[in-house]
Amino acid sequence: MPELPEVETSRRGLLPMLHQPVNQVIVRQARLRWPIPDNLAELVVGYCFNQLNRRGKYLLAQINQGWLIMHLGMSGHFRLLSEWQPPQKHDHLDILFNDGRLLRYHDPRRFGCILYSDNPEQHPLLAQLGPEPLTSAFNADYLYQHLRGRQSAIKKRLMDSHLVVGVGNIYANEALFIAGIHPERTGDSLSWHECELLVDAVQVRLRRSIDQGGTTLRDFLATDGKPGYFRQELQVYERALAACYRCGGEIQQLKQDNRSSYFCPHCQK
């Protein structure tokens, strides 16, 4: 689920907890993608979150001498509760604050992670990441340059975090539709102008989705428990055999790299 807009929505939802002292940590299930550190409580209890950043799909929270590195995997989300409530199934972690509020991590599939690092920039999970899509570092020149000499499909390349971070299956499909580019084109076949269109499409759709609180398909909720409303603006994702909003033709579905791709054969060449 969570791609860049959903992670950014989560980050913004956590901002009210900045500068609030942590007074307890409850780990009910440490076995996520990687285990939650045994010493998490001693790392954070008595300290405050001083900064909340996002790098790609990772949330970074500065506390004590280092940073929590958090990823929502496929099905994770954080809830911010104003007072204690009994935990539900798959509520794996609580961070309780002195004022009675608590942050609760929920993740049925447990593909997410909660790690701690003194220097997250150098952490193996982050060190090799590509540029942020919503910065000037992600531009037509960059994309065109980095697509040279590779035969992989452009849709797969867009989802490669070493090329650009934050774009997952939903936004790769959506951006390619907006840019009018067929998902099976090789990255190498894109012209500079098509790279320009694609960069713009990625940025426009990510920004719009952030404005809408992200996309909720199944699990995703913001920290206030609300779903994201970008789903109703999806042009092709999960619209197989439905009518293209632009030309009225039939949206097609195919598998690429074992992930579903959706596209309009008339509008995307």
Partner DNA sequence: AAATATACCTGACTGC
Partner DNA sequence: TGCAGTCAGGTATATT
Using CB under 7 A, list all residues that contact DNA. 1-3, 6, 31, 33, 56-57, 71, 73-75, 89-90, 108-111, 124-125, 149-152, 159, 161, 168-170, 214-220, 228, 257-260
Residue 16 annotated to the active site:
no
Nearer Cβ to DNA, position 216 or 268?
A: 216
Residue 3 annotated to the active site:
yes
Alpha-carbon distance 202 to 23, whole Å?
A: 41
- Residues 10/77, Cβ–Cβ less than 8 Å: yes
Nearer Cβ to DNA, position 22 or 153?
A: 153
Alpha-carbon distance 186 to 4, whole Å?
A: 24
Residue 226 annotated to the active site:
no
Q: Kindly state the smallest distance separating residue 39's Cβ from DNA, in Å.
A: 21
- Residues 262/173, Cβ–Cβ less than 8 Å: yes
Nearer Cβ to DNA, position 243 or 254?
A: 254
Q: Kindly state the smallest distance separating residue 174's Cβ from DNA, in Å.
A: 11
- Residues 92/80, Cβ–Cβ less than 8 Å: no
The enclosing H or E element of 195 equals helix 192-211
Residue matched to tokens 């604050």 = 97
What residues contact 223, with CB distance under 8 A and at least 6 apart?
Answer: 10, 13, 14, 77, 78, 79, 80, 103
Query: 57, 155, 157, 239: which one is catalytic?
Result: 57
Residue 239 annotated to the active site:
no
Q: Kindly state the smallest distance separating residue 144's Cβ from DNA, in Å.
A: 16
Nearer Cβ to DNA, position 50 or 260?
A: 260
147 torsion bin: left (phi>0), alpha (psi -120 to 50), beta (else):
alpha
How far separated are the first and last CA of the chain, in Å rounded? Answer: 27
Q: Kindly state the smallest distance separating residue 33's Cβ from DNA, in Å.
A: 6
Residues involved in catalysis: 2-3, 57, 259
